Amino acid sequence: MKKLIIGLLVIGIVGFSGIVDAKSSAKPSGVLINGLQYEAGLASSAVAHKDICAILYGAGDSNVGGDKESHKMKIGGAPFAYSPLADGSFWVLDTINQKMKHFAADGKLISCFTFPGSSSEKFVKMQDMAVIPTGGFYLYNSVEGMVIRVDDKGMPKAYVEGLPNSREIGIDSKGNLLVANPVMHTLLRFNPAGELIERYDGQTFLSTVVDANDRPLGVKFNDLEAELFRADKASPTVTVSLAKFPLQTPKERNARYVSAQLIGSDAKKNVYLQLIACDKLGVIHQYRFLRLSSDGKTLGQADFLAVAFLYPRKKAITPDGKVFGFRSDKKSWFPITFALP
């Protein structure tokens, strides 16, 4: 339980300054950056983010919702999800303001539409989204446990119901929807009409990230090793191990993996793995992103300086292979990127 709590704090569910072991009165011996403690060597070598632009918080179409706009919903003052495009623009799931918004790389609004079913009387909690390559979007309503496929104007075209407590949604190259539901112990794949076409049962670690052949990928980890898997078959599920990633920090640091997560894929179908390790005091010893081929070979890697954010916000991958996230201040929302070699 202790490891889980520390891991959740470090991976960004809640920003916290100086995470401390509940049984220790000692203070972390790291360097404080962005509200998180880093081992000194990592703090001096890790890659910092680059701001893309700044979008003011507010209720207008050209803004995104912040703390002021979300205080009644109590869902945190920042968009829930976002999807970067090849031209540098990005779509934002502005749940607080109940709209999907398309911004240019300079932060100017290109277009937007209101969530289906949203009104002055009804707040629709859209928690995740996926851009369909052939046009339109999948939107996940976490309260109703439903994914809605909409066209480019936000008009509903198909519904998939019965999906409460889903962790994430994603998409394959054919425009099929993938839904990871750890409560149901399954990963589901639906066609654009909303029909179930594959079911990977008995798996809580499979993600909605797929390889070059649209086969789902997943990662398991323990204190000292993470392992990448591919699902080769559904019903029954058959998985194969692709690669292992042992923790390589010196033993005397007593660091352990607290998170291993697949983030997404780029235009070349490379996939991206995030590995985080910290010690019992919550000092971060590794905050690493790896670029992997579809068969698990490491093509590039770098340690980053994390920017804390609120769950269930998550990172994304740009088509050209950068890690896309955000930072925030009291006035503006800043989409950011981290570059891998």
DSSP E strand boundaries for 191-331 = 196-201, 206-210, 216-221, 225-233, 238-246, 256-265, 271-278, 284-292, 298-303, 316-317, 323-328
pLDDT, tens digit (0-9, with 9 covering 90-100), for 185-240 = 999 999 999 999 999 999 899 999 999 999 999 999 999 999 999 999 999 999 99
pLDDT given for residue 25 in this prediction: 39
pLDDT given for residue 14 in this prediction: 31
pLDDT, tens digit (0-9, with 9 covering 90-100), for 295-325 = 999 999 999 999 887 777 889 999 999 999 9
Residue 22, pLDDT above cutoff 50: no
Q: Does domain 2-338 have CATH number 3.40.50.1100?
A: no
pLDDT, tens digit (0-9, with 9 covering 90-100), for 88-147 = 999 999 999 999 999 999 999 999 999 999 999 999 999 999 999 999 999 999 999 999
Residue 17, pLDDT above cutoff 70: no
165: left (phi over 0), alpha (psi -120 to 50) or beta: left
Q: Which long-range contacts (CB under 8 A, 24 or more apart) does 275-278 make?
A: 275/221, 275/226, 275/245, 276/7, 276/10, 276/11, 277/247, 277/249, 278/6, 278/7, 278/10, 278/19
User: Is the entire prediction scored with pTM above 0.85?
Assistant: yes
pLDDT given for residue 72 in this prediction: 72
pLDDT given for residue 29 in this prediction: 67
CA distances from 127 to 16, 66, 96 (A): 23, 15, 10
pLDDT given for residue 12 in this prediction: 44
As a whole number of angstroms, the distance between CA 28 and CA 18 comes to 6
pLDDT, tens digit (0-9, with 9 covering 90-100), for 39-58 = 999 999 999 999 999 999 99
Q: What percent of the chain has pLDDT over 70?
A: 91
pLDDT range class, residue 20, cuts 50, 70, 90: very low
